[in-house]
Structure 1
Amino acid sequence: MTSGKSGDDAPKRGRGRPRRDAVEDGPGTRDLILTTARSEFAEHGYEKTSIRGIAKSAGVDPALVHHYFGGKEQVFEAALEITFAPAMTVPDLVVHGPMDGAGERITRFFFSTWENPDSREPLLAVLRSAVSNEAAVSIFRRIVTRSLLHGITPSLPLEERQMRAELAVAQLVGTALLRYVIRLEPMASADPEELIGRLAPIVEYHLTGVPPAKS
């Protein structure tokens, strides 16, 4: 007679919970998975990134990824929001100053975020995935609404407030898509100051409804 429990009698682990003998878990493991996931999504996009691929790159069991986050959509949102949302939350000084010059303040802040390599990676991950996957589009929409739009709209005139903010954001996000993802020339190689000078009056027009002054 053998001691111990048989395979049928042994306690069953919950779905998505890693085996204790198969995964090395510990402080920092969750953050490691998030950092790895962000890099995988940035490099491969949402469609071509898998839980197994994230786990392999992070050096952990795939069950550990499921244990912490659930499915791929939850990993995607968690990995991006911790860096994307704070980076895209417009500071009070940018939106609560006088409307005259708001276009330049917002455009300059936007480019400072994109030109910073630390914040550019999660932004690239969102845009690359959002152009081809509905789940990523939904996540992108939620993050943009929470950050940029909610930051901008309180400072705008009530009439057509939401439309004005969305058009301003569309101008900037479209530029980011062409410059950093598609890398369309000459926009991809243009000096950021040149692009800020060209875009700021248009962004301000969308926000205020006042056409740019003719030079």
Structure 2
Amino acid sequence: MSPRGRRPGGADTRQAIVEAARVDFAEQGYDGTSLRGIARRAEVDPALVHHYFGGKPQLFAAVMDIPVDPSALIGAVLAGPRDRIGEALVRTFLRVWDDEAGRQRFQALVRAAVTHEEATRMLREFLVREVFGRVVRELATEGPEEPSGADQPALEVRAGLAASQMIGLAMMRYIVEFPAVVEATHDELAALVGPTLQRYLVG
């Protein structure tokens, strides 16, 4: 008989965590999912989830096949000049998705989001919580006053508009393949789209 208890570390354990996370994210959304709950479903020690993935954003990236650590990318953007946050986000986004493998991943991500309600909710909550929402929140706390609870809806609207701008750009470049947008360089797109993102994010 095989011993009962938590699963030891190893390649099978990492895959079990990803599969458990996929179920939890689908059932509970990004916000409602906890690493402890994923560990319980995967029958592993919660420390192993942190060991393999570091945190929830990295685990979500693995589940959705996003090829980078989103927390590290957004941290690098926020570490740069505040008056160029919009441009930095455009350049970062394009670096991640512009090669052939990145295009294919983005296309698969969009297909999942538009055909499965669970994937739509996961992606929406992730973008608001860990990407554009994080940028808006951190920039807001740098003002002369801390944002109040009453300010939260306005911050979420700004994060949502910033997300819509970048997703729209990606749709035209990678899905619709509008020629002028496909042929534009990173510098051109950063110069054109960056100021709009800056206005949404910084206010």
Compare CA radii of gyration and give the structure with the larger one.
1
Tell me the TM-score normalised to structure 2 length: 0.56
Matches of 2:199 and 2:139, distance apart in 1: 12
Map of 1:1-215 to 2, 5 A cutoff? 80-81=63-64, 83=66, 86-87=69-70, 90-157=73-140, 158=147, 159=151, 160-209=154-203
CA-based RMSD: 3.5
CA contact (8 A) 2:128 2:159 kept: no
SS where residue 109 of structure 2 aligns?
A: helix
Give the CA deviation at 1:143: 2.8
Give the alignment's TM-score, normalised by structure 1. Answer: 0.54
Task: Check the 8 A contact 1:128/1:181 in 2, yes or no.
Answer: no
CA contact (8 A) 1:80 1:122 kept: no
1:58 is matched with none
Query: Deviation of residue 202 (structure 1)?
Result: 0.9
CA contact (8 A) 1:165 1:206 kept: yes
Deviations 1:44-78 (CA, angstroms, capped at 9, x unpaired): xxxxxxxxxxxxxxxxxxxxxxxx9xxxxxxxx78
Query: Which ranges in structure 2 are unaligned for 5 or more consecutive residues?
Result: 1-9, 16-41, 43-59, 141-146
SS of residue in 1 equivalent to 2:165: helix
Cα deviations by residue, 1:123-157 (Å, 9 ceiling, x for unpaired): 22111221233222122223323431343133222
Between the aligned partners of 2:120 and 2:155, the Cα distance in structure 1 is 23
1:73-115 C-alpha deviation (Å, 9 max, x unpaired): xxxx786435357247533231244421111111111111111
Q: Which one-letter code corresponds to 2:96 in the other structure?
A: T
Question: Aligned AA for 1:194?
Answer: E
Answer yes or no: is the 8 Å Cα contact 1:178–1:187 preserved in 2: yes
Q: How many residues align?
A: 145
- From the two aligned structures, give the one with the greater helix fraction: 2
Identity across matched positions, percent = 26
In structure 2, relative to structure 1, the CA distance for the partners of 1:155 and 1:28 (3 Å cut) is: closer
Task: Identify if the C-alpha distance between structure 1 residues 199 and 208 changes in structure 2 by more than 3 Å, giving closer, same or farther.
Answer: same
Gaps of 5+ in 1: 1-26, 33-67, 69-76, 210-215
How far residue 166 of structure 1 moved from its aligned partner, in angstroms, is: 1.8
Query: For the residues of structure 2 that align with 1:88 and 1:125, how far apart are their CA atoms?
Result: 21
Measured in 2, the distance between the counterparts of 1:114 and 1:137 equals: 19
Moved over 6 A (4+): 29-32
